[in-house]
Each structure stands twice: as structure tokens, then as C-alpha cells.
Structure 1
Amino acid sequence: MILAVWVPLLVPFLAAPAARRLADALPPRPAAWLLAAASTGLALCSAAALSLLTVAGALRLPYVAALGHLVTPFDAVPVAVARPAGCAAAALLALSGLALIRTARRQLGELRTARRRLAPSTGELAVVRDPGPYAYALPGRPGRIVVTTGMLRALEPAEREALFAHERAHLRGRHHLFLAAAELAAHLHPSLRSLRAPLAYALERWADEAAAGAVGDRRLAARAIGRAALAGRTAAHAPRPRAALAAVAGPVPRRVAALLDRRPSTAPLRSRGPGLIAAALLVCLCASAVSAAEAAADLHGGIETAQGEH
């Protein structure tokens, strides 16, 4: 166990850069799924490893050993390693849990506050009387597209439809859940924080492509996003919840350039580089999962031995 349990804690430092490189080579939708799945899987394996270290350290305490009905000392992990590693793992888990709870409460509070500001309506579109130009997709049941009168005045009718299609894509794709997964991963392992920005960009590009398809004009979608971003720069800070996505978020010039690129976003990958990176990332994920499972099996076996069942 003592060797296997460290693999899920170290692998993310190698897997996170590989995931970023691979996401850059993929179309937006699979890139978003890749980043969300990789960060969640690596984070869960890391949390499992910390939990196993915590249990191994706790079993060295007399009252915990008594609760576990251990008749002989638990020796699956040397005492010189079990106690300090267990204390450190328990502290990291506690700090991560508290930070995650605090972030979740803050974001849920922001979403509730944003919903209370809207007039009761059964429609998808919520127009707010505000000269400040901003718009965003507010998740919930039902999801709402929030747009101000200032933003409506800043765009032409066709551009408004492109903007609405962009925000509608966020709601239909449940993109806020992708961001929640990235936030969870970032709190569980420090190296996974670097995946939040690429994931947010992939989600915006996903919605950009959906908007371009909905209006049937990539240049129109690019113009709408660019004009909305320029209008938003002159406004005061928009009261947008952090869990809500907006068309003007992220590196807008890069997104506009991608929309104006006439090459299809779903073009097949011809280089061997992305394939090699994908293979390396898959190896990292499998190694992390297998090592966590092996460490759990070793811990279980050590407990059974200490209980005199073998």
C-alpha cells in the first residue's frame, strides 16, 4: 500500500499538462468532456488516496484500533510513515472539504440572488431594465437567458439571435455542471486548478459553434460575440453569478478568430501528436485508478490480518 497510495497523488502533476495539450487539439465539445472527465477522475482518485492514508494513520491510534476490533497492531504501513502521513492527509481532506463547502454555498447564494432579481415569468428570456450591457445563461429549473436592455440596444436584431443561441447552448448543454466538476477537482488537488481556464474556454467555444450553427452564419456569430464583448467593456461590473456562463467571457479575440476560421471545427486530427498525448493521458488515468484500488485492497487485507481473520 505504501507505494501504490502515492501514485494517485503524483500522477495529476503529469496528467494535467497532457490534458491541456490534448484539449487544444480537439474540437470544443470533446475537449470540454475530456477536461471535465479527466479532472474529475484524477481528483476522485487523489481523494481516495488521501482517505486511505487517513484511515491507515488512524488505525495506529489505540482507541481507533479498539473500534476496529484489531487484536494485533496494524502493520500494513510502517508507524514512522502512517502517523505523519495520516495526519497530513486528514488535514488536507478537511481543508479541501471546507473550501469546497464554502465555494458551493457562495455560488448557490449568488444563483438564488440572481433569480430573485428576475421578474416571475415562464419564458426562457428574462430582460432586465439596466443600461449596462451584459447577458448570461442562468442555470436552474428552468434555465433563463438574462439580458439587459443595454445589451439589446448594443446589438442588431440578427446579432441578438446569435447571442441568445449562444446562451441557450450553455443551458441545454448543462455547462454549469462541467464548471462544477472542475471546481471540485481544483479543491481536491492543486495541479488540477490549471484545467479550469481551458475548460471554461472549451465551453464558450462549444456555445460559439452552436450559435453559428443556429443562425447559419459564422461571421454573424463572431460579430455578435465581438460587439457584445466591446459593449460590456464600457459597462460597470455586471452582477453575474460565478456559476453562470456568458458569451463575453474568456479570450474573446481568440474565440472570434476561431469562428472566422473556415476550416470545420470537427476536422479529423491528422497528426500523431494528439494520439500519443491521448495514450499518455489514458495511461495516467488507469495508473491512478488501479493504484488507488490496489492500495484499498492492501489496506483491507491489513485490517483483516490485524483482526486475526487470516
Structure 2
Amino acid sequence: MLISVYVPFAVTAVLAVLAPRLAPLLPPRPAAWALACAALVTAVGWAGSLALLAFTGVAQIPEVAEEGRWSVAALRAEDPVYLVVAAGSALVLAAGTVSLGVAAVRQTRHVVLARRECARLPQETELAVLDDDAPIAFALPGKPGRVVVSRGMLRCLGDQERAALLAHERAHLRGRHHLFQGLWRLAAALNPLLRPLAVAGDFVLERWADEEAADRVGDRTVVAHAVGRAALASAGVSRPVALAVTGGVVPQRVRALLGPPPRRRSLPLVAGAVLLAVCCASLANAASDSDRIMDSAQCAAQSPTANVRTAAGHRHGPELCRGVHVRPELRR
């Protein structure tokens, strides 16, 4: 546990640094799935490691030890974690949990507002055209989702560019990109180290929609022009909290569309999968070590011949402690 419990922290830091640099080099669709898996696994690993470290401190509180029927002296002798580390982990975990709750409430509110906006739109078709001179275009997820575009935006684009813009927004709805966004934002709320990964994820989603629009239209240059013109037209215009064609870093998106489609690269995906596997294995090993330490502390709290029923209803006696080495001086 002394080493394995800290491995998820190291994996999170490595992915937070490398993922934003490698994601733009990969095809956007597998890059988005890879970032989603990385965010989910590292967030769980982060929280699990903090919980294990915090529990080692909480378990040494006499009232908690009495309730759990384990020896504080044995736990302190076996536990390799300093009390200040356990206390700090508890504070970080508590702060992350509160931040996660706030982010979850915000995400839920955004979903509810999006569905209400869908219901209020005048047209009943997937495409809703607003009678507004401000250049606006975005995808509004719901049941069903809607593509919202203003007349001002349509006037800024040619016929082919309009088709590219609509294909881009429909790709957001078809790929359920708002779910990816929600996952990244929740993970970043729990673990601040994942914020760069969330930013990279938003860019990858726009690139995913760009590539699908290029496949639909059949001309990457047309999509690049549509993205560039839409971004220039909407400069200074406030956007709703939704997936929009003007999202992400527009110059990088245009540059990618003017070049060839991204090549498939398996090495970054394999390396990321290995890191995530190491994170999961380390967390499982740390949890196993923590369970062993607690069993040892429980056995040390009992006499060699006593059978004591714990609060969980399990009997602890010689048959449970057999095979668990406890030093005589740690027995109470």
C-alpha cells in the first residue's frame, strides 16, 4: 500500500500533461472515447486512493476503532501512512465531493433547460431557424435534439457552407457529444488535474463533428470555410451553453480541415490503456493491502481464544486470524 496507493495520482498527472498534446494528433472519434475512458478511470482512481489514505486516519480514532473492533496500536504499527497525509487526503476528498455535487447539479440544470428550450422552439422539425440577425448556430440536446440556427448566420454562409454547418451540428446530436462533455466536466470537478483533459475533450468533439461534416459534404475545404466564416461572424456574440460550430480553437480546426484526414495511430492508445490498467491494478492492490491491515488490527484486538461478534455480524476468532501474523506485543 505504501507505493501502490500513490500510483493513481502519478497516472493522473501523466495523462493530464500528455493527453491534451496527443489527442489532436489522433482521429477525433477514437480520441474522444480514449479521453472519456481516461477521465473516468483516473477520477475513480483518484477518489479511491484518497479514500484509502483518509480511512487510515479515521480508523485510528478511538471511537471508530471501538466500533469496528480493531486495535489502534496494531493499526498504527501496520499502517505506513502518516496521519497528516491521511488528514490532507480527507480534506481533498471532501472538497472534491462537494465540487462534484455542485457540478452534477449544474449539469442536470443544463439538461433540463435544454429540453425546455427544445419544447419552446416554434418548428417541430429537427432544424429550428430563429428570426434573429445575430449569427448563432448550435446543437441543443434533448428528446429529440434540435439544431438551432439564426437567419443572421444563414446569411453569412453560402449554400454549401450552410450544408456543412448543419452537418456539423447534426454530428453533435448523432454522436451524443453532450454526454462526453458532461463526463469530462464531472471528472474535472472531482479532480482539478483533469481540467486540461476536459478542455482537450471539447476540442476533440468539435474536430469529430468537423470530420463527419466533411464526409457528408464531400469537401474538407468547404467545411473549413464554413467554420472560419461562422467564427468570424459570431465574434463578440455571446453563445449559449451548448455545442456550437464556433467552439474549440478555430484556427487549429481550420488548419486540420485544410490538411489530409488524421492518420490512425495505435501507439498512444495502447500506451494510455497500459497506464489505465496500471492505475486500476495499483488501486486494487492498495485496497487489498488495506483490508489485510484491518484484518490484522481486528485480530490483534482479540484474545487468541475469544470469539467476538462484530457490528457487521461476522464472528472473529482463531479461525479468522489463522494465517495472519500479529506480533505478541500488539495484542490487547
TM-score by shorter chain over 0.5: yes
Asked if the contact 2:231–2:246 (Cα under 8 Å) also holds between the matched residues in 1, the reply is yes
**Does residue 203 in structure 1 map to residue 194 in structure 2?**
no
Asked if the contact 2:27–2:264 (Cα under 8 Å) also holds between the matched residues in 1, the reply is no
Deviations 1:29-88 (A, max 9, x none): 111112221122112111110111122211111222223232564527767845322221
Opposite residue 251 of structure 1, the aligned amino acid is V
Measure the CA separation in 2 of the matches of 1:229 and 1:138.
18
Other-structure match for 1:90: 90
Asked if the contact 2:139–2:147 (Cα under 8 Å) also holds between the matched residues in 1, the reply is yes
Other-structure match for 1:305: 296
Of residues 142, 147, 150, the one that matches 1:148 is 150
Deviation at 1:295, TM superposition (A): 0.7
- Secondary structure of 1:126's aligned partner: strand
Opposite residue 288 of structure 1, the aligned amino acid is C
Deviation at 1:207, TM superposition (A): 0.3
Other-structure match for 1:23: 23
Deviation at 1:10, TM superposition (A): 2.2
Deviation at 1:185, TM superposition (A): 2.4
Opposite residue 258 of structure 2, the aligned amino acid is L
Measure the CA separation in 2 of the matches of 1:11 and 1:218.
37
- List runs of 5+ in structure 1 lacking aligned partners: none
Asked if the contact 2:78–2:293 (Cα under 8 Å) also holds between the matched residues in 1, the reply is no
Of residues 176, 179, 183, the one that matches 1:181 is 183
Deviation at 1:286, TM superposition (A): 2.4
Deviates more, 1:208-217 or 1:177-186: 177-186
Asked if the contact 1:58–1:83 (Cα under 8 Å) also holds between the matched residues in 2, the reply is no
Deviation at 1:184, TM superposition (A): 2.4
- Secondary structure of 2:243's aligned partner: coil
Cα 1:88–1:121 shift into 2, 3 Å: farther
Q: TM-score, normalised by structure 1?
A: 0.87
Cα 1:104–1:63 shift into 2, 3 Å: same
**Does residue 167 in structure 1 map to residue 165 in structure 2?**
no
Deviation at 1:203, TM superposition (A): 0.9
Cα 1:68–1:126 shift into 2, 3 Å: farther
Measure the CA separation in 1 of the matches of 2:154 and 2:283.
52
- List runs of 5+ in structure 2 lacking aligned partners: 300-319, 322-332
**Does residue 295 in structure 1 map to residue 286 in structure 2?**
yes
Other-structure match for 2:254: 256
- Secondary structure of 1:46's aligned partner: helix
Asked if the contact 2:224–2:254 (Cα under 8 Å) also holds between the matched residues in 1, the reply is yes
Measure the CA separation in 2 of the matches of 1:183 and 1:193.
8
Q: What are the equivalent positions in structure 2 for 1:40-189 lying under 5 Å apart?
A: 40-70=40-70, 73-75=73-75, 81-117=81-117, 118-119=120-121, 122-189=124-191
Measure the CA separation in 2 of the matches of 1:77 and 1:103.
40
Other-structure match for 2:313: none
Measure the CA separation in 2 of the matches of 1:119 and 1:281.
43
Deviation at 1:144, TM superposition (A): 1.5
- Secondary structure of 1:133's aligned partner: coil
- Secondary structure of 1:141's aligned partner: coil
Question: How many positions carry a matched residue from both structures?
Answer: 299
Aligned alpha-carbon RMSD (Å): 2.3
Deviates more, 1:185-194 or 1:221-230: 185-194
Q: TM-score, normalised by structure 2?
A: 0.82
| 4+ long deviations beyond 6 Å | none
